[in-house]
Structure 1
Amino acid sequence: MGLFERWLSIWVALAILAGLGLGLVAPNAFALLAGMEVASVNLVVAVLIWAMIYPMMVAVDFTSIRDLAKRPKGLIITLVVNWLIKPFTMAALAVLFFEHIYASLIDPAEARQYIAGLILLGAAPCTAMVFVWSQMTKGDPAYTLVQVSANDLVMVVAFAPIVALLLGVTDISVPWSTLLLSVMLYVVVPLGAGWLTRKRIVTRFGGDLHALDTFIARLKPASILGLLATVVLLFAFQAGTIVAQPALIALIAVPIVLQSYGIFALGYGAAWAWKVPHAIAAPCALIGTSNFFELAVAVAIGLFGLSSGAALATVVGVLVEVPVMLSLVAIANRTRARFPE
């Protein structure tokens, strides 16, 4: 791993502090940036999210799906956890905490916003960062590509209906046009651009995958910088709320942390019980645990606005993501011997 990936938690922490400081020092400047929208999509955030997603989409090889039949167990666990369990447990935890446990602490209207943000997080399994987590656990890179590719294909058709269903259950109005536009912008279009880029490079260099790897490596700094710049921007937008209500961040983080460890235990335990090799089991569990927070943040901003409670909840997901995932990587590495080779 490069310098940025190895110390990512530190860079994210510094980006959060920078965002809070800048947001307090220059609130008017960030209010101007927040107003740069087209069809409910913030243009600045869109550019940064594209910078994050595009390099990872180039790395996705959809032709690898043809090898699924040889080793289907890891993929089955990933798909079942990601699409049949995770969104619904996250929604249940969100309702439990914000409508019951936190009922005396948070206004009901605000609570619905936080529930919406957590639902968006739960319905968006990881696409980009999972490659980092897989590498850190010595995961099978080819199989990780298969899992990510399959998840992306399912996400294209399943994300919007699941989110709309769960938001409807929690009595939150869903503007379908904005939701579908976000899926197109942050899943379909990057996937298509990544596929075209990959195809062109492979064709140009006569199938030389080293040339493709070199191209992706050159894009990596842009991806990490896009992530950090997005964190700075989002925390700057929310600086006033965060500083005024630091306890609120901790309250939002609790169900996210519980969901993360619970989903990991479920996926990892299922892989162990099914005797899945560790090189497949670890990425399998980590994909379900990690979130495609770029998409969740983008959809929250598009649906509810930059200064909404839903956007804040997804930003807290970014805050929690890295330290939690690093701890789960450590757990996976320490338990490697309990899995078959």
Structure 2
Amino acid sequence: MTLFERYLTVWVALCIIAGVLLGHLFPGIFHAIGAAEIAKVNLPVAVLIWLMIIPMLLKIDFAALSQVGRHWRGISVTLIVNWAVKPFSMALLGWLFIGWLFRPLLPADQIDSYIAGLIILAAAPCTAMVFVWSNLIKGEPHFTLSQVALNDVIMVVAFAPIVALLLGLSAITVPWDTLVLSVGLYIVVPVIVAQILRRRLLATGGQAALDGLLKWLGPVSLVSLLVTLVLLFGFQGEQIIAQPLVILLLAVPILIQVYFNAGLAYLLNRATGEEHCVAGPSALIGASNFFELAVAAAISLFGFQSGAALATVVGVLIEVPVMLSVVWIVNRSKGWYERGEAVRSVAAKGANESPSIKPRPAQ
């Protein structure tokens, strides 16, 4: 781990402060950058996400994706947490904290809207950013890609019914343009670019050429993450300073939900004997959110100035720092995880069978 990576949380904290201050001091610049969007998908942020995830996607050999089925335990756990637990646990936390405990501290006319925004946020599992978190824990990249793709497919058919059920609405307006464009920009395009580049490098310079590019792109990926953080906090700098208490209160159920779902996925994977390189990404996918879709859905349903839109934006603001804390927990607990009885039992059985997919060493 480089010095830059070792103190990543410090750089993240500085970028958060810088983003809020810059957004407050120079709102016009950030409004202009924020306006560069199509179907609520910000194009500058999309480019930065490409720079973040393409180095991770370069490590993926599509020929090895057929072996992902051996990680059926991790796939099952992630799907259960994402679709059978996460939206409902957020609804419960929203009603408990926003609808009851914090009600006297919040605008009465926005309570239901805040809860709706939290539910919409939880009903959209994360996509592109998961590749960044998975890379930081040396997660199995083939599992991460296949799980993200599976979540995207399920989201097309399950997002609207789940939100409609929990919000009690007869019809949910799904921003299909945002959903399709986000999946295309954040998943399809980077995967295609990465695979074309990977094949050309291997054909012309072999593994050494690929390793050399990955080593060079490593810092680029992390710098892009930090610049994205400055932009995200810069976009909302005025709101953070104008409504600090509301944002703080909305962050409470989101934080509890993140740690609850990440912990649940992690423990279930350990109980079923899944490898740590799969349990880590599973926990991260179970905890994070597809905030572009959530923000767009909240705005289309309740309006730009609604409490629902603000609640989803709070999810955006805490996404990176909170997920970095989950990454830290997963990395620090690896020894404890691998001492689990089920994990050791499955590993012993696997030693007598074909070798399991292992993540490539960090570049």
TM-score, normalised via structure 1 length = 0.81
Name the SS of the counterpart of 2:333 in structure 1.
Answer: helix
Question: Could you tell me how far apart the structure 2 residues matched to 1:306 and 1:15 are?
Answer: 26
Query: In the alignment, is the contact (CA less than 8 A) between 1:45 and 1:230 conserved in 2?
Result: yes
Asked if residue 112 in structure 1 is aligned to residue 107 in structure 2, the reply is no
Aligned pair in 2 of structure 1 residues 68, 43: CA closer, same or farther (>3 Å)? closer
Alignment of 1:288-307 (within 5 A): 288-289=286-287, 291-292=288-289, 295-297=290-292, 299-300=294-295, 304=299
State the match for 1:131 in structure 2: 134
State the match for 1:11 in structure 2: 11
Aligned pair in 2 of structure 1 residues 277, 182: CA closer, same or farther (>3 Å)? same
Query: In the alignment, is the contact (CA less than 8 A) between 2:133 and 2:323 conserved in 1?
Result: no
Question: Could you tell me how far apart the structure 2 residues matched to 1:264 and 1:39 are?
Answer: 30
Question: Could you tell me how far apart the structure 2 residues matched to 1:302 and 1:213 are?
Answer: 40
Query: In the alignment, is the contact (CA less than 8 A) between 2:137 and 2:280 conserved in 1?
Result: yes
Aligned-residue offset at 1:20:
1.2
Structure 2 unaligned runs (5+)?
348-363
Query: In the alignment, is the contact (CA less than 8 A) between 1:12 and 1:228 conserved in 2?
Result: yes
Name the SS of the counterpart of 1:270 in structure 2.
Answer: helix
Counterpart selection for 2:213 from 212, 215, 240: 215
Name the SS of the counterpart of 1:128 in structure 2.
Answer: helix
State the match for 2:195 in structure 1: 199
Query: In the alignment, is the contact (CA less than 8 A) between 2:71 and 2:274 conserved in 1?
Result: no
Aligned-residue offset at 1:50:
3.3
Name the SS of the counterpart of 1:51 in structure 2.
Answer: helix
Aligned-residue offset at 1:18:
0.2
Structure 1 unaligned runs (5+)?
136-140
Amino acid at match of 1:206: A
Amino acid at match of 1:254: V
Amino acid at match of 1:218: W
Query: In the alignment, is the contact (CA less than 8 A) between 1:98 and 1:115 conserved in 2?
Result: no
CA offsets, 1:57-108, max 9 Å, x none? 4444443331134443233222322333223323432343223332222234
Aligned-residue offset at 1:299:
4.7
Query: In the alignment, is the contact (CA less than 8 A) between 1:74 and 1:280 conserved in 2?
Result: yes
Query: In the alignment, is the contact (CA less than 8 A) between 1:282 and 1:332 conserved in 2?
Result: no
Question: Could you tell me how far apart the structure 2 residues matched to 1:111 and 1:316 are?
Answer: 21
Alignment of 1:1-341 (within 5 A): 1-107=1-107, 108-109=109-110, 112-113=113-114, 115-117=116-118, 119-121=120-122, 123-125=124-126, 127-135=130-138, 141=139, 144-168=140-164, 169-170=166-167, 175-176=173-174, 179-204=175-200, 205-206=202-203, 208-289=206-287, 291-292=288-289, 295-297=290-292, 299-300=294-295, 304=299, 308-309=309-310, 310-338=312-340, 339-340=343-344, 341=347
Aligned pair in 2 of structure 1 residues 129, 46: CA closer, same or farther (>3 Å)? closer
Aligned-residue offset at 1:328:
4.1
Name the SS of the counterpart of 1:276 in structure 2.
Answer: coil
Amino acid at match of 2:269: A
Alignment coverage as a number of residue pairs: 329
Name the SS of the counterpart of 1:124 in structure 2.
Answer: coil
Instruction: Kindly report the root-mean-square deviation, in angstroms, between the aligned alpha carbons of the 2 structures.
Output: 3.2
Question: Could you tell me how far apart the structure 2 residues matched to 1:77 and 1:195 are?
Answer: 25
Please say which structure displays the higher CA radius of gyration. Answer: 2
Aligned pair in 2 of structure 1 residues 218, 185: CA closer, same or farther (>3 Å)? farther
* Identity, % of aligned positions: 30
CA offsets, 1:142-181, max 9 Å, x none? xx223212212213222244332343332678543xx333
Aligned pair in 2 of structure 1 residues 41, 306: CA closer, same or farther (>3 Å)? farther
Question: Could you tell me how far apart the structure 1 residues matched to 2:279 and 2:41 are?
Answer: 37
TM-score, normalised via structure 2 length = 0.76
Aligned pair in 2 of structure 1 residues 124, 60: CA closer, same or farther (>3 Å)? farther
Question: Could you tell me how far apart the structure 2 residues matched to 1:329 and 1:122 are?
Answer: 27
